[in-house]
Structure 1
Amino acid sequence: MLANSCFSTHAQTQSNKLCMLRVDCPVAAGNESMRLRLAGDKRKHNEGRVEVFYNSEWGTVCDDDFNIHAAQVVCRELGYVEAISWSPSSKYGKGQGPIWFDNLHCSGKERTLALCPSNGIGVSDCKHSEDVGVVCSDKRIPGFKFQPLVRLRGGAFVGEGRVEVLKNGEWGTICDDNWNLLSATVVCRELGFGTAKEALSGGRLGQGMGPVHMNEVKCSGFEKSITDCLFNKEALGCSHEEDAAVRCNIPAMGFQERLRLSGGRNPYEGRVEVLVERNGSLVWGTVCSEGWGTMEAMVVCRQLGLGFASNAFQETWYWPGEVSADAVVMSGVRCSGTEMSLSHCLHHGDHLNCPKGGGRNAAGVSCSDTAPDLVLNPQVVEQTTYMEDRPMFMLQCAYEENCLTSTSGQTPANSYRRLLRFSSQIHNNGQADFRPKASRNSWVWHECHRHYHSMEVFTLYDLFSLNGTKVAEGHKASFCLEDSECDEGVEKRYECANFGEQGITVSCWDTYRHDIDCQWVDITDVKPGDYIFQIVINPNYEVPETDYSNNIVKCRCRYDGHRVWMYSCHNGKTTQ
């Protein structure tokens, strides 16, 4: 059965039967952060049940005294020009959680719903059968920033990648059944490119994680968004081996003409040289290597159409570039990794500051068509978490490796430390093996784990309060990287035992079990309450990857002093 799409931006439904779209927008109520969204059953993006996020919880709005003026405030707050209508009596289904607003009396001129007179936040005698809904105009306020519902991931070049769509607050993929150029073109145009050059199938640009949101997509080619196309909501039989991808036609922007690699053994490596204007003339010069790292190298390789960075170099004496280009013309470069040109990154401009100079100390890169992509499995974290009180005399090795909080130094040997334990299962969903940056002769022997660690800072474990304050001293966990298990038909290549080669093969995963030393957060000094648990892998970007946005897992965590609950674990930077 084909159905119209329903997509969301920041929410997570408890029912798999509902197809919901949610549009979030931050507003303020006193000192408290508040957001609105539209939710509901089988509808367009510009209509639905009005929901409010307050005090870390989503709730609804009662229909008592609600009118078109209140609907106008809601729609404008969400970025739409005006309200068309509103609906009482839970037309879009009954919501969950608190009913945050009742008896709203809006004039229609308020900037946010929170500024309308009401009974007060959370003061209501309504039931969810009275949840109100609105229909907004599909015209959007110019300049209002909407979160996109589609993105590309895993591509080596601008305008290509695995297609991912946002539904019920979770990014997922598209199954390649019936995937064709018409549907691919809708994606490319939605993202601001030209028509599609290729519609790729079979997970050609890497396998995603999470749900498969769309199957048997059928577009006419004229839709504004892939979410407007018809599709089959059932994805039975689809796996991430069938993830759809695109390559788009992109306009020539001339970025490659102002950057070059010089002195390398092949076109994919060399000293970075930039073309700049000096005293009315265009001259080539080098980039200061102070602070130069993977993110900056990623931008260079993308700008030159050479794929991903494989290494970032702070010395390039072994690559003698053009002597006339030795002078530093760019310093203080800091990139997020998503820029299309090195000139778009933060830098010092005309106020150069590079004490060590250019020449042999200039920045360099090496590039590659492929790269790994590590993804931490959030379900494994959620399912394996538990709490243990462990005697201090059994933690001496962990103490020496700084796996406990600083207060543990004053803990008597016959007392206990309370540990939040969990397993980590890290998949390589990219197109190249993940290999440690350090060479074998610099690996470190770890007595606790009885093997060599090839990356001293491979993961960060932290516990935060809901306002973002770190409450438990997380630690920098080092790993021995190996293939614990692999997909069917893929052979293991890396094993820690006997000083073996380390890495994670494509389509394999490395599991660090909950019962291994240091696979925990020390919560001995943490008070009961609600928290956010966070794991970050490859946090210093030591090894280049196709996508760093999926290197973070966040979970909600509740601790009552005796028990602990871990829930809503998900990939990405936002908290659901």
Structure 2
Amino acid sequence: MMRTREDLRRTLQTTCVLLLVCLHSVLTRPEEGEIRLVGGASPIEGNIQIYHDHRWGSICDDGWDLRDATVVCRQLGFPRSDFATTASRFGLALRQIWLANVHCWGYERNVTTCRSDGWGSGTECDSNEAAGVICKASTVVRRVARNRPAALFGNRTVAPPAFIISQMNMAATTTTVPVQSVTGSPRVVPTVPRVIPTVSRVVPTVPRVVPTVETTVRTTTPSAGRTVGNTTMMTTTVRRSSGTRSVGTTTAATVTATVLPTPVWNTDFIQADESAGTFHVDNIVYLEKDKRRPMQVRLAGGRNNREGRVEVKFDDSSSATSGSDNGSVPGGAGEWGVICGNGWSLKEADVVCRQLGLGQGARAIQNVIFTGPQRAIILSGVTCAGQEASLMECFHKQVGVAECHGQRESIAGVMCSTELPDLVVDMEFLVSSVYLQDQPMFYLTCAMEENCLSSSAYQLDQKAFKFPWITRRLLRFTLATKNIGKADFVSFIPKHLWQWHACHKHYHSMEVFAHFDILDTAGKKVAEGHKASFCLEDNACDNDWQKKYNCANFGDQGISVGCFDIYKHDVDCQWIDLTDVKPGVYTFKVTVNPDTKVAEMRYDNNVAVCKLYYYDSTAYFDECKLSGSSSIAVGLRG
């Protein structure tokens, strides 16, 4: 009996050990499609091994590039890849080479979803052709979580990251926002995609800024200013003399300015947007008191209550947004009048629609298409930044003194909507795809036709024998634009009016879909480029959205909600010509829908700004961020 119990105890112990071993084997067994890095000096680098059919195998380096490496690094939890290595840089490949000719776009969440020759296709690759990566352990692209719906990835739900939108609005305070992050630690991961890690840091945002103004000053009398909408109205007066002084409260942000011709209550003004450098002005005068009169706004003559010509009335006793006809003095209290349509844009339409609670401006009308009784033009030169809460906060010429060419034919109107597209530039594509290329003129014939090179290229003698072999230094990068709005982004030009370009043999639905700029440290533009929408389509979409637009065979062009349009770095004109630019540190800026010809829910996320480090043989982007177009303004007497 004792021996039987002892045997039973030993049998149970052996069984438990075997069960634990089996359980451990099951729990630690790699999942299909898992990847890992081996042979590197640190966890962020190494040859790639992928698990398939219960075996680890290598990936062949045929066609292996930075886009493929970026997908691998993201799958491993890193933000991006710095280098794509080839020729078994971190040791010989395994005998089993699972994949060959892997080609990724760069947005895939798993390397197995990229195009390849299929499993077991690496039979013709040998052991010194292993593909590898060097991942970036941290990223300079700053992210912060927004209130956006979570997305379902595989069997887990994660909230998609969102870029900080650094806006420059108008007040003298600076706040900081802590940015939470996920530290990216290299590890073997299953095919379920991970959340892209970010950098843990505190990023200052400047919600309201008064810039540092380099000007000639003698005396200043600072006092408490007040902020109305996006405009800081100060009681400070700066008189002309000599010297340099900061006016108001300043922050680390630097600005440039463009003198605009539109007067503000009979004064010119300058509008500044966030960029590098400073601006210089003389005779700066902050308005000493509020000269505005309460303004009522309404729409009239439209087919529905969301459209019509914009009618305004100035009344010292009311600031409502509706009223009745009375009064007799042009621009006086109680009389309804219209606004001159010259210069009327979507920014002004946005403000009107927002003030009336009708959403955003879908169209800005500049001529007479809405019916109604004839009314006097009592307001002209209306200029808004686009973020104002009411039209009363925008700049305009003196009430009742309207300067309007065309008179009756130029009347401001709007069409409002609550469902518009919203484009945002994807930072990761920019950062991971940038490189330099020296391209002979022989390959740039079509690019010259579309004005994609700097002006010096057109001064060359095209009949010279050596002309085809003269090279241009190009900064190439991928531009990925996502529609996060509530409606599809489509061209404002009807399909039958698209322009045919014979050299490239394609149609342009928009002549300028994106604009690229290189600025020096003083904010001066030293190089620029542009990209026409020759093929505006859905290249990739979120899980819950279907591709709709495909430009093949003269198909419809556009960007669906939840989808990306991707102009890859190897596409013609997807560059800036740096031939005449000396190596150094610059500011790179890309703007999509730069002319705001297509209405959007917002425009401050259409601009991406990076610091460009340009050396003799290499270039890279750093400190990328979305840069709002909010502006500041001060009075400038002529």
Which interval holds the TM-score relative to the shorter structure? 0.5 to 0.7
Encode CA deviations 1:36-90: one digit per residue, 9 max, x unaligned. Answer: xxxxxxxxxxxxxxxxxxxxxxxxxxxxxxxxxxxxxxxxxxxxxxxxxxxxxxx
What root-mean-square deviation, in Å, do the aligned CA atoms of Structure 1 and Structure 2 show? 3.4
Report what 1:320 is aligned to.
371
Report what 2:85 is aligned to.
none
Aligned-partner Cα distance in 2 for 1:354–1:552: 32
**1:32-431 residue pairs with structure 2 within 5 A?**
171-174=144-147, 209-210=162-163, 258-277=296-315, 279=329, 281-317=333-369, 319-323=370-374, 326-350=375-399, 351-358=401-408, 360-411=409-460, 412-431=467-486
| Kept after mapping to 1: 8 A contact 2:539/2:563 | yes
Could you say if the C-alpha distance between residues 292 and 553 of structure 1 is closer, same or farther in structure 2, counting changes exceeding 3 Å?
same
Encode CA deviations 1:118-150: one digit per residue, 9 max, x unaligned. Answer: xxxxxxxxxxxxxxxxxxxxxxxxxxxxxxxxx
Report what 2:601 is aligned to.
546
Aligned-partner Cα distance in 2 for 1:432–1:286: 31
Aligned-partner Cα distance in 1 for 2:141–2:439: 40
- Structure 1 residue 395: deviation in Å? 0.5
| Kept after mapping to 1: 8 A contact 2:313/2:333 | no
TM-score by length of 2: 0.51
1:483 to 2:456 alignment: no
**1:478-557 residue pairs with structure 2 within 5 A?**
478-557=533-612
* Matched letter for residue 360 of structure 2: F
SS in 2 for 1:498: coil
Aligned-partner Cα distance in 2 for 1:496–1:307: 31
Encode CA deviations 1:214-262: one digit per residue, 9 max, x unaligned. Answer: xxxxxxxxxxx9979xx9977999989xxxxxxxxxxxxxx99811111
Could you say if the C-alpha distance between residues 476 and 517 of structure 1 is closer, same or farther in structure 2, counting changes exceeding 3 Å?
closer
SS in 2 for 1:409: helix
* Matched letter for residue 422 of structure 2: D
Gaps spanning 5+ residues in structure 2: where? 1-139, 151-156, 166-174, 185-192, 197-292, 316-327, 461-466, 630-638
* Matched letter for residue 274 of structure 1: V
Name which structure has the greater RCO, CA cutoff 8 Å, separation 6+.
2
* Matched letter for residue 515 of structure 1: D
* Matched letter for residue 301 of structure 2: G
Aligned-partner Cα distance in 1 for 2:542–2:195: 12
Could you say if the C-alpha distance between residues 453 and 175 of structure 1 is closer, same or farther in structure 2, counting changes exceeding 3 Å?
closer
Encode CA deviations 1:131-176: one digit per residue, 9 max, x unaligned. Answer: xxxxxxxxxxxxxxxxxxxxxxxxxxxxxxxxxxxx9975541477
| Kept after mapping to 2: 8 A contact 1:288/1:328 | yes
Could you say if the C-alpha distance between residues 429 and 341 of structure 1 is closer, same or farther in structure 2, counting changes exceeding 3 Å?
same
Report what 1:29 is aligned to.
none
Aligned-partner Cα distance in 2 for 1:306–1:338: 15
Aligned-partner Cα distance in 2 for 1:477–1:500: 16
- Structure 1 residue 313: deviation in Å? 0.9
Instruction: Judge which range, 513-522 or 471-480, deviates more.
Output: 471-480
SS in 2 for 1:426: strand
Instruction: Judge which range, 521-530 or 441-450, deviates more.
Output: 441-450
Encode CA deviations 1:422-441: one digit per residue, 9 max, x unaligned. Answer: 11100001111111111112
SS in 2 for 1:413: helix
* Matched letter for residue 309 of structure 2: R
- Structure 1 residue 420: deviation in Å? 0.6
TM-score by length of 1: 0.56
Report what 1:460 is aligned to.
515
- Structure 1 residue 376: deviation in Å? 0.7
Q: Which protein is bigger by CA-based radius of gyration?
A: 2
Paired residue for 2:615, among 528, 542, 560? 560
| Kept after mapping to 2: 8 A contact 1:448/1:517 | no
Could you say if the C-alpha distance between residues 404 and 339 of structure 1 is closer, same or farther in structure 2, counting changes exceeding 3 Å?
same
Determine what percentage of the aligned residue pairs are the same residue.
43
SS in 1 for 2:349: helix
How many equivalent pairs are there?
A: 350
SS in 2 for 1:474: strand
Could you say if the C-alpha distance between residues 367 and 235 of structure 1 is closer, same or farther in structure 2, counting changes exceeding 3 Å?
farther
| Kept after mapping to 1: 8 A contact 2:302/2:309 | yes
Aligned-partner Cα distance in 2 for 1:392–1:238: 43
Report what 2:288 is aligned to.
none
| Kept after mapping to 2: 8 A contact 1:379/1:569 | no
Could you say if the C-alpha distance between residues 210 and 169 of structure 1 is closer, same or farther in structure 2, counting changes exceeding 3 Å?
closer
| Kept after mapping to 2: 8 A contact 1:452/1:496 | no
Encode CA deviations 1:309-367: one digit per residue, 9 max, x unaligned. Answer: 111111123x21233xx211111111101111112111112231112114x53111111
